[in-house]
Amino acid sequence: MFDELIGNSRVKAVLKRMLVADRLPGALLFTGEEGIGKKLFALEIARALNCRTPKDHEACGVCSSCVRIRKLNYPTRDDADEWTQIIWTDHPDVGLVVAPKRVLRVEQMRQIEKEANFRPFEGKARVFLIDEADKLNDASANALLKVLEEPPRTSYLILITARPAMLLPTILSRCQMIRFSPLAPAEIETHLVKNDIDKKTARLRARAAGGSMGRALSGDLVTFTSQRKAMLKVLNALVLSEDRAQLLRSAEQLNEAQYKDEFEERLDVLETLIRDAWMLSLGVDTSRIVNEDLSTELKEIAQKINPGRAGDWILQIEDLREQLIVNVNKKVTTDSLFLVMAGDVAAGKRPKVR
């Protein structure tokens, strides 16, 4: 049934090997950005372990165990108590915890430890998903250490996070990390078309999604289109002129309150535009770029871009993104990012953002 999951064939191969060899670690850590299917893979593992009629160590997908494991019984929004407990699937051996507010709580970890020590009620293995594992604080992480160190033979803990760097070393060292990659636009597009989304919309959504199926399904195309327009202006200002006034205006706009939530999305969009222009400047075919529908504009930019500098810009954006994780003042860093990038155009140096 792994073939029903989208993308990440390397991850599939690794997990499959572990299942076949009966050497699945008791503590796994699934990392990779939001919306690329980490939770679905974790549930698929739970199914493979508990399936009544497995085929070649994979879940059949249709037996009563398989069907019930897919169904997570999330509490209603306002039922505060239930969010602090294990949220069970329809199968008594498979459940998950999420952070009720900002942190995963000690009592949730204690409950997992207690439940992990029971033998399976019905299936062959008990499987517990810990979603948003980056929300473990010192106390809840410590409450988890013992069971993570040596899970009972029939119990498996799968921690899931998009931000592994936030986890304590004591947690990281006890888990086997499985890294998920962003999905390719083509993988997303195929899936959307299969789900009755028309080809043109599917293509645009897939390209706007930045590798995340979640975003492809929920993303807002109007916002994306306007973001792209704004960021194309920035790239033009960078490449076609040394128009510092325009760059500062763009930096300002990026910092405006109304775009606060979009800040990182806009950086992502800018990055894909730079990458595309860079690839075109190296003679890559337009069918391989992300913003294929903007190929005319991007080709014009590509003629004037210096490939070495484009590479630097991407490093500088990635630097900025790292700084944002530690909450550096957005305004200051964005201004300096754009000025450094502009300086790059003017002087041909390779300054760093920091």
**Binding-site ranges for Zn ion (CB under 5 A):** 51, 59-60, 63, 66
Q: How far is the CB of 96 from Zn ion (least distance, A)?
A: 19
36 vs 51 by CB, closer to Zn ion:
51
Please report how close the Cβ of residue 91 comes to Zn ion at its closest, in angstroms.
11
| Residue 124 or 304 having the CB closest to Zn ion | 124
Positive or negative: CA dihedral 140, 73, 14, 121: positive
- At its nearest, how many Å lie between Zn ion and the CB of residue 26? 22
d(CA 91, CA 47): 10
Q: How far is the CB of 145 from Zn ion (least distance, A)?
A: 33
Measured CA to CA, the distance from residue 291 to residue 206 in angstroms comes to: 10
- Residue with Cβ nearer Zn ion (61 or 100): 61
Nearer to Zn ion by Cβ, of 44 and 132: the residue is 44
CB of 130 to Zn ion, least distance (A): 24
Q: Computed from CA positions of residues 245, 251, 254, 257, in that sequence, does the dihedral angle turn out positive or negative?
A: negative
Angle in degrees, CA 332, 333, 339, rounded to 5: 95
Nearer to Zn ion, 59 or 239 (CB): 59
